Structure 1
Amino acid sequence: MFQLLVDSVTDYALYMLDPNGRIVTWNTGAERFKGYSSREIVGEHFSRFFTQEDRKADLPTLALATAAREGRFEAEGWRLRKDGSRFWAHAILDAIRADDGSLLGFAKITRDITDKKERERALRESERRFQLLVNSVEDYAIYMLDLQGRITTWNAGARRFKGYEADEIIGQHFSKFFLPEDQRAGLPAHILKTAAEQRRFEMEGWRLRKDGAKFLAHVIVDAVHDDDGSLIGFAKITRDITERRRLERETHESALQLKLLVQGVRDYAIYMLDQRGMITSWNSGAEAIKGYAEEEVLGQHFSLFYTAEDRASGRAEAALKTALEEGKFEAEAQRVRKDGSLFWAHVLIDPIYNETGEHVGFAKITRDISERKQTEQQLRQTQEELLQSQKLQALGELAGGIAHDFNNLLTVMRGSADFLLRQPDLPAEKQKRYLHVMLETADRATSLTSQLLAFARRQPLEPEIFDLSVRLDAISEMLQRTLGSRYELHLDLAPALWLVEIDPTGLEAALLNAVLNARDAMPDGGRISISTRNAERAGKEGVGLTVSDAGEGIPPEKLQRVFEPFFTTKPTGKGTGLGLPQIHGFALQSGGEAEIRSEVARGTTLEIWLPRTDKQPERKTADGTDTYVPSGLKVLLVEDSDHVRYFARQLLTDLGCEVTEAANGEDGLAHSEAKTFDLVFSDIVMPGISGLELAERVRAQHPDLPVLLASGYSSKQFIPLDQRQFPILRKPYKLETLAAAIHQLKEGSARQSSGCCM
């Protein structure tokens, strides 16, 4: 019967230990909340239920020794279940002895009191937090009263705005805070009586601080009852609302003034929308601009003012969405008045949030800007007419300058050619002299064309990577010789400049033009300064090249035109008007900028800014075989100009090449598919299939076939520097330059085929 009783207990673990602490019995309660069956645990030491830290502290041995010595051991602590989880246990260990007093073992009773402990802990924590909360609140006076109204507790908020310390006020009657007239009227007693009968009293009224100053208070008194329902006192909460009332009054007055202000504005439509876009207010400006009276639009959707197209495309809804997502919507667009007429509006929509951060609607401000738009349109039209006039003037000057210079060159060319044709039996020496004159004239024409292309930003550039200071130092002696002895060339070249990638020939031409302009501005001699420095512009790194003189300077009305072609500040016959345009074109074509500053009688400063490159300069070597072209080289020549194609064929034939001609890209592509070639030489700019497209399609068909392209324009017009796949030969070219280009291309192709790096 006793065993049945023990086994039926499930809320307690009841089991026996031998004198050494080994388990000899196990009941159902032990199995339920420790997790072990009787078969698993009998014979094991009871220390396996202790935590590792308790075992290290030898608590199981201490428990057995205490129970053996004193007859009983009782404790609470963490124990372990079979699955390793912890529970808080209340444990009793009783010693069991025989009649002769010898120790037979121990009776062990354990109860899981985890939930009880957690409730106790939570209650203590709650009480602690509540006490901390009450004591830390400074915006409210929170304190207790006994049944007679005497103060029994006092928090920081009460001390802050009533002025009393706790030891000054505890035990005092709360009527101390009331005005004398309220005390005489029995208000304190009425408050306690009402709270006792109705469980709560609330009011607003004037109260007194310790220093006698009055403040407006919001007061709540709650009756406090014990568990039996007996009244044991009162809880009193007081808040100083003096400032809040003042702000509310000021806010009301401010809102009234704002309403009067908004209603008085007639140049702006200022009104409110709810969250859906329905109009909730309307000012006199809105009525004046849009034509609707207030009663006509309140409750209407604001898309009423949109055009039919804008309503159909959902622009009104999109505007509200943008205002919510981005904090504001602003736009200029056409809107519709009540009479159906259109006007240009500047629109601003702002979302409105209440004091809790909840979105409650939108503020909408609209201004009629039709007059401004009309003025802007007239200004644009005037500017366009002025720009067109300036273009026509510049084109007239350009055409006149080109006609003048090229007529001079053509006169020499035609006269020399005509003379040679009319006198075929002219001595060889004179024929050679006329031919040299024609070549020199052609070179001058090439130079003039180069300057025009630089102005148009289409000059053929072959960029190299170098340090600008190093290059300028190398050519400074040539510049000084060009200037003559009456001029001092002063160099201020910064060391360790950032590298640039530009055409050195274009740079030298630009620098020479700048230096000669500076010389001409100082006819009596003087000092010309050239400086370099690292410089940033618009967040980009680059190098600045400055050329300065102390000459005559340029008047403001002429300064703004100095980059126009054939416009010159020099006397007639003293300048071509292409120097500064060449500098400007070179700078822009190189990815940089050019600007000029000048004051009359104080001099001129020209600055060229060129972008920095992170590339490193290539190392070039010359072995004397640059112009060697293998005999019998099969070349596909593609050129749409008959004269240029004839000239190129003659050069290739002179180099020992076998030439197949094509007059356009389509023919060239057909030849490349039908025959085998060692090289394709093609112009870039052609109608239909361009040279670049031809090169790409040929490479796709024949990856190892070298392609050489030619152009009188800059390669930058067609292929960015960082994406070049094909070498480009600049026009006009000679036998030597063509041979060198073919040699370099074939050598590179051969090294690549053999696995070498170019």
Structure 2
Amino acid sequence: MDPSSKPDGDESPVSLPSEHRFQLLVNAIKDYAIYLLDAQGRVSSWNTGAERLKGYTAEEIVGQHFSRFYTPEDIATGLPVRALKFAREQGKFEAEGWRVRKDGTRFWTNVHIEPVLSEAGELIGYAKITRDMSQVRFSEQALYASEQRFRLLVEGVRDYAIYMLDPAGRVTNWNAGAQLIKGYTAHEIMGQHFSRFYTPEDQRDGVPAHALQTALAEKRYEAEAWRVRKNGTRFWANVVIDALFDEAGRHIGFAKITRDITERKKAQDEMERAREALGHAQKLEAVGRLTGGVAHDFNNFLTIIRSSVELLRRSGADEERRERYIRAIAETADRAALLTKQLLAFARQQPLRPEAFGIAQRVRSMSQVIETMLGSSVKVSLFLDAPLDAAQADPNQFDTALLNMVINAKDAMPDGGTLTVSARNVDEVPAVRRHAAVKGAFVAISVEDSGSGIEPLTLGRIFEPFFTTKPATKGTGLGLSQVYGFAKQSGGEIDVRSRVGEGTCFTLYLPRAAGEAGTATQSGTTDAPQETRPLSILLVEDNEEVGQFATGLLAAVGHSVVRAASAKEALKFLETDRPKVDLVFSDVVMPGMDGVDMAKEIRRRWPGLPVVLTSGYSHVLAVDGDHDFALLQKPYSIQELEAFLDRAMADCDRPATG
């Protein structure tokens, strides 16, 4: 027979039937279950990925209703039927949920269903893609060459661009989803390099080549980034690239899936902007509350001081009333100074003087004050017998923090109750206010009451300055913010646990000291000054009004004063008149060289000359621990000034000059 002749009816097809091409295509994909359902939901085709994900062979599942993959609960609620109805009416159905394998095990999936229509527009079935989302990585099993040489064309899917690249990165086939997402027809893009989908900046940085190299080396590459459509517009894409190998292990190309997730990114970006706006609004609210609180309190203080001064100016005031007005001015100044210290504590910028001290001894020395403050209706229990290391912090600020926590507990127990103070060594600060736990050596001091507790919404704001739930006459809202600032600046933390109706427990974490505990002076007391003797003092102060006042104050207590308006001027004076100076008394914040640097220079050049520094606010002293100069905080009393000067002279071994 002539080989070119053909029997009647024996005509070789020009190309494979479309159903065969489709089956060969989808069988090339292993990480997605891609199959068809008929109009009633029965399985009519089955790919390799479906068999791997669900456990059924094609012989077992073709003809079966797809609802057998759903859990009994979902079947009971009619989810399979509703999914097909939704896809038919809306054009697609997409969801995540539990599905069931042949062996009964469950896996979490992403499911995509789209209706498949005939040329006449009639429903002939559904295209269904299922992905196992419980898997972190795609299977690394090599894909057979015969399963990867067919075009990845799934005409029923339009939300995924599914196509193949040759080993050099050129497009070898193209599906309808790729055309819809990227804008190119198959005729326009076949044979073109896939890097044209990348932004100019990604192309310049070599991102396309890196993606293929990663996929080849690790068998898989996944990323999210901007991609470019044919019309030049950009979209945010999720991209997965798998390297393909034949049976002999030779690299034959890449399988690529791209999805447009621009809307999801927009939603995420909007949420992030909303978070930032909320955070900014909260900061503005806190600043507004802080400003208002400071203005309110200082206006009250200034009202008392101004009124008292005007009454003192009036003639006819007897000695008793004059003394009352003077006392009011002094007490108000002390309250204003305390407010400033609390604000600096919250800002973590008060100049602390940390030292090693024993927590148990410190608390016991304050127990009488605590009991008096709480009254007889509150029982105080101290549990301080456990072995404790010394704490490294400012002991006077610790006293203030402890009293602030006690005051808070007192207000929570108006009808009485129990206050328990305990301390222990710990090696970790637990997670606090959404921060992770911190390892380290700390002493934990707990103050627990049996009071009314704190509402959950209030609990998140109790450390804010001027935030208080108390009546206007019962507190400023700065007590707990002082505790917070002191803890943070000391390198520690403050935690609070509370249950409404059961009580509250504050726990202050302070770093443990490396050495032995010192003997810190109790807050509110100063060393009794020795017999005051006249000194020759070099006052360094750049502010004219403050300088004149300080000169008059020092002269009033019997000292002779020479004033320098800058550190440079003071050093120049000392170069010629050093023997005439017993002590240097200097402000910290000055133009040019500040007081700390000047004091260091004086110590280097004249080591026997004592220096006392003073400041109302000094960020330098708050953060610079490389000095041990005496610091007198403004505002100060005459007694405190004299005590500092006497102590500085007592620490100096140099005999006094006349």
- Smaller-chain TM-score bracket: 0.5 to 0.7
Residue 434 (structure 1) aligns with: 325
Deviation at 1:519, TM superposition (A): 1.8
CA deviation string 1:337-382 (max 9, x = no partner)? 2221123345677889999999998887655443233223333433
Question: Relative to structure 1, is the Cα distance of residues 273 and 720 closer, same or farther in structure 2, using a 3 angstrom cutoff?
Answer: farther
Q: Which residue of 2 aligns with 1:484?
A: 375
Map 1:535-684 → 2, pairs under 5 A: 535=426, 536-537=428-429, 538-618=438-518, 631-635=534-538, 637-654=539-556, 657-664=559-566, 676=578, 679-684=583-588
Q: CA RMSD in A?
A: 4.5
Question: Aligned partners of 2:486, 2:361: CA distance in 1, in Å?
Answer: 20
Indicate how the Cα distance of structure 1 residues 631 and 387 shifts in structure 2: closer, same or farther if over 3 A, else same. same
Instruction: Evaluate the alpha carbon distance shift between residue 553 and residue 335 of structure 1 in structure 2; reply closer, same or farther with a 3 A threshold.
Output: same
- Preserved CA contact (<8 Å) 1:699 1:705: yes
Q: Distance in 2 between matches of 1:294 and 1:717?
A: 71
Describe how 1:433-582 pairs up with structure 2 within 5 A.
Answer: 433-493=324-384, 495-535=386-426, 536-537=428-429, 538-582=438-482
1:337 is aligned to: 229
Which protein has greater RCO, CA pairs closer than 8 Å, 6+ apart? 2
How far off its partner does 1:295 sit?
Answer: 6.3
Q: In 2, Cα distance between the equivalents of 1:272 and 1:704? A: 84
* Aligned equivalent of 1:737: 640
Paired AA for residue 547 in structure 2: R
Q: Which residue of 1 aligns with 2:183?
A: 291
Distance 1:702 1:557, change over 3 A: same
Say yes or no: does 1:421 pair with 2:313: yes
Residue type of the alignment partner of 1:719: V
1:299–1:561 distance in 2 versus 1, CA, 3 Å: same
Aligned-partner SS, 1:553: coil
* Distance (Å, rounded) in 1 between the aligned partners of 2:415 and 2:629: 51
Amino acid of the structure 2 residue aligned with 1:724:
H
Alpha-carbon distance, 1:293 to partner: 4.8
CA 734–688 in structure 1, closer or farther in 2 if over 3 Å, else same: same
Distance, in Å, in 2 between the alignment partners of 1:253 and 1:726 is 80
Q: Which amino acid aligns with 1:376?
A: Q
Q: Secondary structure at the residue paired with 1:649? A: helix
The answer to which structure has the higher helix fraction is 1
Q: CA deviation at 1:496?
A: 1.9
SS in 1 for 2:366: helix
Q: Is the Cα contact below 8 Å between 2:349 and 2:622 reproduced in 1?
A: no
- What residue number does 1:52 align with? none
Q: Distance in 2 between matches of 1:702 and 1:333?
A: 65
Counterpart-to-counterpart distance in 1, 2:213 and 2:602: 54
1:200-219 matched pairs, under 5 angstroms: none
TM-score normalised over the length of structure 2: 0.63
What residue is the counterpart of 2:6 in the other structure?
none
Report if aligned partners of 1:633, 1:656 keep a CA contact under 8 Å in 2. no
Offset from partner CA, 1:20-56 (integer Å, 9 cap, x none): xxxxxxxxxxxxxxxxxxxxxxxxxxxxxxxxxxxxx
Task: State how many pairs are aligned.
Answer: 500
8 Å Cα contact 2:151-2:163 kept in structure 1: no
Distance in 1 between residues matched to 2:589 and 2:189, nearest whole Å: 64
* Structure 2: stretches of 5+ with no match in the other structure: 1-140, 430-437
Letter paired with 2:301: L
**1:674 positional shift:** 7.0
Q: Distance in 1 between matches of 2:600 and 2:249?
A: 62
- AA aligned to 2:271 is L
Residues 1:724 and 2:623 aligned together: no
Structure 1 residues 496 and 274: alpha-carbon distance in aligned structure 2, compared to 1, 3 A threshold = farther
Instruction: Name the SS of the counterpart of 1:617 in structure 2.
Output: coil
CA gap 1:725/1:471 in 2 versus in 1, 3 angstroms: closer
Structure 2 matches for 1:193-204, cutoff 5 A? none
Q: Supply the distance in 2 between the matched residues of 1:458 and 1:592 (Cα, whole angstroms).
A: 15
SS in 1 for 2:226: strand
Deviation at 1:450, TM superposition (A): 2.2
Q: Are residue 374 (structure 1) and residue 266 (structure 2) matched?
A: yes
Alignment-derived partner of residue 301 in structure 2: 409
One-letter amino acid matched to 1:732: P
Q: CA 1:371 to 1:414, structure 2 compared with 1: closer, same or farther past 3 Å?
A: same
Q: State the one-letter code of the partner of 1:612.
A: R
Shift of 1:449: 2.2
Describe the superposition over 1:231-265 as per-residue Cα deviations: whole angstroms up to 9, x where unpaired: xxxxxxxxxxxxxxxxxx99649956998699987
Q: 1:469·1:495 contact (CA, 8 Å) conserved in 2? A: no
Alpha-carbon offset, residue 659 of structure 1: 3.5
Q: Is the 8 A contact 2:347 2:485 kept in 1?
A: yes
TM-score, normalization by structure 1: 0.56
Cα distance in 2 between the residues matched to 1:503 and 1:570? 29
